[in-house]
Structure 1
Amino acid sequence: MSAVSSSKSQRRFLVVFNPTPQRLRKVRLKKLLDAIKATGDEWFLYATEQGLAANGAVLKTRLEGVTDLIVVGGDGTFNIAINSLPFDIKSKTLPFRVGLLPSGTGNDFARAWYGKDMNIDEIIDVLLDNHCQTLHLGECEMVQSTRLFHNVMGAGFDAMISKELEHKKTPFRSLSYLWSAIKYIPFYEEPECTYKSSHTKREFRNLLTAFCNSKYFGGGLPIAPMADASSARLDVISAGQMPLINKFKLIGKLVAGSHMSSPDIFTETLNKEAFAQIETEGLELEADGEFIGYSPCKVDVSDYHLALKAPR
């Protein structure tokens, strides 16, 4: 699906959207397009496909003259976009401004980037402005592919839940995540894991290891309260094997945002020069709520970054 306005202007918007039928997304997409039309700027649409290669091939043909690319969708759609766009090899960035109109099931990244109190009209005002901040991306290098991520990349129980929810997305992402966590955690057998970073080496049974570029995952759970996507760092939050009662307590603390003080939690920060590796084979991996494959993998702050529309 595509459309082009007839008016000519200084800016040219490419609006990338998730075509999966959803009433809220349809309403927000129309509101965005009406706002762009009111400016007299040029615009056209692109509906994402499932495969990264298919999106990349089409998007490359539609980027000529684009000044602003707006993604309408959730974290998964934004992840598809950033992994499909042709970053410049030398500058490691994109030659246009990028914006996100949250219209997904979780919207975890948007919750942190815009703040929980900003409404959709205020966000559209941000998207029509030219003010941006640098969004530093994370990078997960696997055996056969590399995946950029903007929010949270995880290994273990979190990735298993993401795989379980892959085709069962509902408007109540946090409740779906919590229900799946409660349902599956009594039966989850923590796999052995060898974790090695620039700072430490650990051998443990992995319940969850998350590499956080931003604060929230699972539909609003504050996994990394101090994470900041505008800074070039990843906060690592990891939990090993523990008694079942401790797992349920940890879920409760995660909901309340008080898990960081738990003795069952390991944390460290990866700055621009640091990296971490999960050397064990076969651990499930997710990035921005989407299942992406299996370990081994190397995770670090990527050289790739972009100018993302942000509140002033």
Structure 2
Amino acid sequence: MRPLLIVNPQSSGGKTGKIFDGMLAPIRRILGEVDVARTERARHAVDLAREAALDGRETVVAVGGDGSINEVVNGLMQARDRGAAGTRLGIIGAGTGGDLCRTLKLNRRLDRYCTAIASGSARPMDVGRFSYETHGGERAEAFFVNVLSAGMGGLVDQIVSQTSRALGNTLAYTMASLRGLARSRVGRVRCVAALRGETRELELATRNVAICNGRFFGSGMQVAPMARADDGVFDVIDLGDAPPLRFAAVSTGMYTGSHIRHPDVRHFQCDRIELTLLNRDVEPVFLLDVDGEPLGRLPITVTLEPKAIQVLAPAD
């Protein structure tokens, strides 16, 4: 079967939809003939990827940003739960953040994305399965492949989705982060974490806690420089409850990874974790950031699915 390209025309503030037709010729020069499906609504890529995998498609390519990749992974994982585990994930990054591409060392050029896909060289990647509360108060289940955070991150995602990208993606995230910090609140979070069957419980006072399979979020912030996407563990980064100015200074260190050494920051590993917000009054601004998308809120239960997806990317 031909590779299926699932294109999100709305990614990168709608830029992908405007330029994709011009991308097709160079894509076909490297990949040969491909099939194309454009998403028409939120979460549509989940359905498209699931059905493609159930139909036996060997390769499904996400064309878009981190949110688009997340939707395709969700579809592939739903198909995997139904016995269709053979579909490989390809990526053509065309979004705002590009954070999973950084973790996977995919060079952010169209020809390099296509060459990685055409090589057929796949590497395994862990996936997080989680249950959460939707904004409507219902329980739901989904998957993430890069970073799931709770707190200020979801608030920033919400602001980014309403921000112009005219001055560039990084500046859009920077401005949204400043606005998000001003509105953020400290959450008291009950945390139950397990690693290889050993469980511990602790209470976090934090503006943001990140459960990391990948290394980057927020358009290049190296939140978990030690993380590997195939090592069978999550790296949890608690950014602490510092006042806004000190929190901003600590957060700036994420561009180099130096924040890990700051006394406000806590790091531990797990393969299963439960987070429950104890001070529910901060709930409106203590939101989930799931691979760059504001999906819902606490409580969440997260488990790691080791080496669940094969991704067409260079070996780490």
Q: CA deviation at 1:169?
A: 5.8
Q: Note closer, same or farther for the CA distance 1:306–1:77 as it changes in structure 2 (3 Å cut).
A: same
Name the SS of the counterpart of 1:267 in structure 2.
strand
1:190 to 186, 193, 199: 186
Which residue of 2 is the match for residue 46 of structure 1? Answer: 37
Gaps of 5+ in 2: 134-138
Alignment of 1:162-173 (within 5 A): 162-168=157-163, 170=165, 172-173=168-169
Q: Note closer, same or farther for the CA distance 1:61–1:183 as it changes in structure 2 (3 Å cut).
A: closer
Q: CA deviation at 1:162?
A: 1.0
Decide whether the 8 Å contact of 2:148 with 2:289 is kept in 1: yes
Per-residue Cα deviation, 1:77-125 (whole angstroms, up to 9, x for no partner): 111111233423376x63222100111011110012125x564322211
Moved more, 163-172 or 130-139: 163-172
Decide whether the 8 Å contact of 2:93 with 2:108 is kept in 1: no
Structure 1 Cα separation of the partners of residues 164 and 146 of structure 2: 18
Structure 2 Cα separation of the partners of residues 99 and 29 of structure 1: 19
Structure 1 Cα separation of the partners of residues 61 and 40 of structure 2: 16
Please state if 1:76 is matched with 2:71.
Answer: no
- Using structure 2 for the length normalisation, give the TM-score: 0.83
Per-residue Cα deviation, 1:243-278 (whole angstroms, up to 9, x for no partner): 3332122122223321000000011112xxx31111
Please state if 1:301 is matched with 2:304.
Answer: yes
Structure 2 Cα separation of the partners of residues 148 and 179 of structure 1: 28
Alignment of 1:1-312 (within 5 A): 11-20=1-10, 22-23=14-15, 27=19, 30-31=22-23, 33-36=25-28, 40-41=32-33, 43-52=34-43, 54-63=44-53, 64-85=55-76, 86-89=78-81, 94-115=85-106, 119-143=109-133, 144-168=139-163, 170=165, 172-198=168-194, 199-270=199-270, 274-280=271-277, 282=283, 283-302=286-305, 305-311=308-314
Moved more, 106-115 or 247-256: 247-256
Q: CA deviation at 1:142?
A: 1.6
Structure 2 Cα separation of the partners of residues 120 and 245 of structure 1: 39
Name the SS of the counterpart of 1:214 in structure 2.
coil
Query: Given residue 71 of structure 1, which amino acid in structure 2 is its aligned partner?
Result: A
Q: CA deviation at 1:294?
A: 1.0
Name the SS of the counterpart of 2:104 in structure 1.
helix
Decide whether the 8 Å contact of 1:12 with 1:65 is kept in 2: no
Query: Given residue 268 of structure 2, which amino acid in structure 1 is its aligned partner?
Result: E
Name the SS of the counterpart of 2:210 in structure 1.
strand
Structure 2 Cα separation of the partners of residues 150 and 88 of structure 1: 15
Q: CA deviation at 1:302?
A: 2.4
Q: CA deviation at 1:35?
A: 3.6
Query: Given residue 145 of structure 1, which amino acid in structure 2 is its aligned partner?
Result: A
Q: Note closer, same or farther for the CA distance 1:249–1:212 as it changes in structure 2 (3 Å cut).
A: same
**Structure 1 residue runs of 4 or more that deviate by more than 6 Å after TM superposition:** none
Structure 1 Cα separation of the partners of residues 21 and 212 of structure 2: 29
Decide whether the 8 Å contact of 1:25 with 1:103 is kept in 2: no
Structure 1 Cα separation of the partners of residues 21 and 85 of structure 2: 23
Q: Note closer, same or farther for the CA distance 1:291–1:266 as it changes in structure 2 (3 Å cut).
A: same
Alpha-carbon RMSD: 2.6
Name the SS of the counterpart of 2:85 in structure 1.
coil
Q: CA deviation at 1:195?
A: 1.6
* Identity, % of aligned positions: 22
Decide whether the 8 Å contact of 2:46 with 2:71 is kept in 1: no
Decide whether the 8 Å contact of 2:16 with 2:64 is kept in 1: no
Which is helix-richer, 1 or 2?
2
Q: CA deviation at 1:22?
A: 4.2
Q: CA deviation at 1:13?
A: 1.1
Per-residue Cα deviation, 1:269-296 (whole angstroms, up to 9, x for no partner): 12xxx31111226441120010111111
Structure 2 Cα separation of the partners of residues 244 and 71 of structure 1: 37
- Using structure 1 for the length normalisation, give the TM-score: 0.84
Moved more, 281-290 or 184-193: 184-193
Structure 2 Cα separation of the partners of residues 119 and 205 of structure 1: 40
Which residue of 2 is the match for residue 3 of structure 1? Answer: none
Name the SS of the counterpart of 2:70 in structure 1.
helix
Q: How many residues align?
A: 295
